Amino acid sequence: MKRWQAMVGGLAVVGFVACGGPPPKTPEKAASSAVARWQKRLGTVTECGQAVRPRGDESCSLQPIHECLHDALEACRPAHGTHLYSTSEGDPVRVDYFVAPEKGACLFVVVEDKSADPVGNKGVVEQECRTTSWRPQPDAPGCQALAPVDCRVVGTSPR
């Protein structure tokens, strides 16, 4: 009986390792204080949604959020969308996008929070961009994503 249990246990370990371990963990990250500031500043916004993409996910779940943000940018109306993903090491990263009317123009704001990534060494970075362009999504080649254009860093917070 013990031999049979050892064999089953050994097969379970081999199966676990051969299949690459547990499924990727869904990234979770609370909004930074920079995101809270933008939400307060803009007030009521069009909520474009949230894409949560575990490591290795090649779905186009980010594309509809970016389409909503693009429409808001063209109409110059306040909007917000969020992208949560994991680094190759499994650390959660949160990127919040805002469309912010500003002095007769409209800005595309990116708040990227890599504070949970010990390798990235970036913390939270806020950028204000004058416009965007469509590009293939780097980790999902069949999908399109907005790429910020003509940006300036307006704030950073250490990890």
pTM score, whole prediction: 0.80
2 domain-assigned: no
pLDDT of 25 reads: 56
Within a domain: 13: no
In a domain, 8, yes or no: no
Low pLDDT (below 70) residues in the chain: 1-27, 121, 158-159
pLDDT (0 to 100) of residue 8: 42
The count of domains in the chain is 1
Question: Does residue 147 sit within a domain?
Answer: yes
pLDDT for res 4: 43
Name the β-bridge partners of 80: 47, 98
Residue 94 has which token pair? 């949160």
- Is 104 within a domain? yes
Q: Find the domain containing 56 and state its range.
A: 24-157
